[in-house]
Structure 1
Amino acid sequence: MKKIILSIITMATLGFTSCKNEAKTNENSNDIAINATFGVRGNCGMCKTTIEKAAKSVEGVTYANWDVDKKTIELAFDDTKTTTETIHKAIAASGYDTESAVGVESAYDNLPGCCQYDHAMEMNQSGEEDHSGHSN
């Protein structure tokens, strides 16, 4: 009897673990319909976290992925709940410049030193190196 109960518990636990892993895999899959892509200035992994968190704080945003090399964010959102303009403003409020919104200066000043980017930095880069060794 103890072996049967232990087997049932083990199978149930494996089943839950499997579902959790599938959910994580699907969340990062290429099946996400991207509604918008635009440039956002930033430097590092900490910037990525802050930029994506700001975008996801907007009601209706279901996916945000900022590419540190390309200085570009991909977004999926419910366009009946928000607009790209609202997302631009949310990211700017966290201190980061976007293609259509300037980062809030006081928020920028409070970013860690590694996150204080060059305001003249190009956005929407290809991510490829040119012959001079600089990113495009």
Structure 2
Amino acid sequence: MKKVVLSIALVAAIGLVSCKNEAKKETPTQTEQTSTTAAAVTESTFGVRGNCGMCKNTIEKAANGVAGVTKAEWDKTRKQINVSYDENKTNIDDIHKAIAASGYDTDKVMGSEAAYENLPGCCQYDHEMEMSIKGEAKEDPNTH
């Protein structure tokens, strides 16, 4: 009887060792690596002529309409826009051109004359007005 009990205990012990070894076996796993190119975000500020809140909406809409632009904020008082864009998708010249196509002069590109003529009266700015005003910019009380 002792032999039977010892035999059963031996078989059980071998089974446990065998199970432990199977649990330790690792199957090779495949990991997939994907490379992602980080967006090359660039910030830029440049001059844009305009007068009022309607100008602000149109200028920002034109800039934000360029694929790759992530932010565009036009400062009515300083007559300048701050833009952030992915340089893998667009460039600063395309942003200037888009704003000019909406009728507004930038410090690089003259606005489309046809688009300018279609702007509301309050948005038809002086083509000689200063842009990218530095220091203390005083708002013109005659603009909106």
TM-score, with length taken from structure 1? 0.69
Q: Gaps spanning 5+ residues in structure 1: where?
A: 1-32
Which of 67, 90, 94 is matched with 1:86 structurally?
Answer: 94
Residue identity opposite 2:121 in structure 1: G
Alignment of structure 1 residues 1-136 onto 2, 5 Å = 35-126=43-134, 128-129=136-137
Coordinate RMSD, CA, aligned: 1.7
Matched residues in 1 for 2:129 and 2:137: separation? 15
Q: Which has the larger radius of gyration?
A: 2
Q: Secondary structure at the match of 1:35?
A: strand
Whether the 8 Å contact between 1:35 and 1:76 is mirrored in structure 2 is yes
Q: Deviations over 1:7-31 (max 9, x none)?
A: xxxxxxxxxxxxxxxxxxxxxxxxx
- Does the CA contact (< 8 Å) of 2:59 and 2:99 recur in 1? yes
| Contact persistence 1:34–1:74 (CA under 8 A) | no
Match of 2:4 in 1: none
TM-score by length of 2: 0.65
Runs of 4+ in 1 over 3 A off after TM superposition: none
Alpha-carbon distance between aligned partners in 2 of 1:73 and 1:106, rounded to the nearest angstrom: 22
Identity of aligned residues (%): 62
Q: Partners in 2 of 1:39 and 1:129 — Cα distance?
A: 14
Q: How many residues align?
A: 99
Give the secondary-structure state (helix, strand or coil) at the position aligned to 2:72.
Answer: strand
Amino acid aligned to 2:50 = G
Shift of residue 126 of structure 1? 2.5
What SS class does the counterpart of residue 52 from structure 1 fall into? helix
Higher helix share goes to which structure?
1
Give the partner amino acid of 1:67: D
